[in-house]
Chain A
């Protein structure tokens, strides 16, 4: 709770570009387990940030915090210049934080699209219905319009032929591409990828990375937690290496080939 002094929610009048995501001294604890110990990270719009790190380094947790699937224990995260999860209110002349209600949280989340390691497609709906679900029931778009857009999104990820297939009838790679289309259908400003290829058979990883690559080329702001070093080197504008709940090294894609921190060097030796 020490870092709230420099939080200026919603100052759009600033001359410089507002970061898409700005994390300031983020702490997260599950019970007595201190997972994140002060993470700072700034992601500018239109850039791709890849977060690398061993299991248990807190990188997935960090991603989930941005999307409010977990609640912050300390520090703050801003998305498009707006503090997430809380708002500042006056209480007896003192500024304190108040938790946002469901509606506000849902609104903030709508700026973010998320892709999960295990796809999490809705198994009782076809690919098309999966993609249409949120536009119809959250944005209240007409079914015909949502359908039209959903078909477009599915075509974009190369699944125009698989509209009426249920997730159980699709390969892992196809399922993950549907999941990406589902997230894109809400027109998010930022896409979060939580190890999107870790649950895939090796021969299916490429098709998902290709979709992500073309998304990056189209200028989407992306934060990816992944173990795909090749993808990181090729696509990322910013590489973040996390270990033990802190950012150990941060820089451009060149740091993959020229790491300075011994822990990062050690990690790269194991994955490359």
Chain B
């Protein structure tokens, strides 16, 4: 059934209006009944199966270690995503640079961090202070050193977790950003150049904002993925996140299933909130691309009597534009 609430042409005088019966479709009804039946069975099973131990779930749902775990998980997610996004934009711009060294560095970064498992990378970052005991400032290839510090104090477990996740994520995101940048019509950059704008300004003011529309949905997806990837930080080992916190309680009281449910509950709740945020962002960066603006206040095009037949928001030049885009190379 379509989600239409009003009929076409309601309130209009159409003398020969058709009120036909719909096509008979027994299939959807049968399928609906079966699925609903299965769903009821599932819920019934979950509620009545005492091995789920809902009382234990309830008892630990707001346990202070669990709540602290949520905090750490969120903090790691946000930090590593922010670092990853900044790095990803940098990598994507480098990848499109005219400088072959920058292009090479970007390519290598993506190749390495996308090509090895994030778990392995996290273990590496955990061992960083073993690999490089001291971080210092001095003259390279000599023993002269002005300042140094134990890397153990710099790369803490928390920082190792964030760096590990961020670098890995940046590699994936940069490909998303690159796809977004490449999807922007080259005519946009030309028009901006013709106005006297320089490359960096064009990137910042014209290309990136338009690319965002393409970049946001997969980035939201990646953020949700990151939320759950944080459960791997025990590889560092970092032991305060939600997954580890619930697991620790489960091991203590020998009840793994109810605490898995606690973890699932919180992950789902946060994911739901992230989904709402994502759709908000999509609307914001989609402004101007939809015939209806994101904030419809006073910006909606009214019916323009100068062009009868051309009603509000009609995509007037879509087909034309596509044709033009196809043929523009030929008319040079």
Contact = CB atoms under 8 A, between A and B. Distances in A.
A171 B316 contact: yes
Nearest to A139: B196
B96 interface: no
Interface stretch (A81-89, A102-110, A146-154): A102-110
Interface in A20-63: 35, 55-56, 58, 60-61
B332 A35 contact: yes
Given A164-B299, A172-B316, A199-B321, A122 B196 contact: no
A103 B198 CA distance: 7
Contact of B290 (A116, A120, A168, A195): A168
B325 interface: yes
Interface in A127-180: 133-134, 137-138, 164-172, 175, 179
Contacts of B28: none
B330 A56 contact: yes
B324 A117 contact: yes
A124 B209 contact: yes
B21 to A, nearest CB: 39
Interface stretch (B85-93, B185-193, B235-243, B272-280): B185-193
B196 A171 contact: no
Interface string B177-202: 00000000101101111111111010
A235 interface: no
B328 A102 contact: no
A103 B187 CA distance: 21
Contacts of A199: 317, 320-321, 324
A195 B213 CA distance: 30
Contact of B317 (A107, A138, A172): A172
A124 B330 contact: no
Contacts of B331: 55-56, 60, 117, 195, 198
Contacts of A56: 330-332
Contacts, number: 127
A165 B299 contact: yes
A168 B289 contact: yes
A172 B320 contact: yes
A67 B192 CA distance: 12
B121 to A, nearest CB: 36
Contacts of B199: 102
A138 B142 CA distance: 47
Interface string B290-332: 1101000011110010010010110111001100110010111
B239 to A, nearest CB: 45
Interface residues of A, number: 53
Interface centre among B187, B195, B331 (most CB of A within 10 A): B195
Contacts of B201: 137-138
A118 B205 contact: no
B210 interface: yes
Given A67-B194, A112-B194, A134-B195, A169 B289 contact: no
B71 interface: no
B234 interface: no
The 8 closest A-B pairs by CB, nearest first: A120-B191, A166-B288, A134-B195, A114-B194, A169-B301, A120-B187, A110-B196, A124-B288
16 contacts: A60-B332, A106-B196, A112-B194, A116-B187, A118-B321, A118-B328, A123-B288, A124-B209, A126-B299, A138-B196, A138-B197, A167-B288, A168-B291, A169-B291, A170-B301, A199-B317
Given A120-B188, A170-B301, 18 more contacts: A61-B332, A68-B193, A69-B194, A102-B199, A113-B194, A117-B328, A121-B191, A124-B285, A124-B288, A125-B288, A126-B288, A138-B201, A164-B299, A168-B289, A168-B290, A171-B307, A198-B331, A203-B307
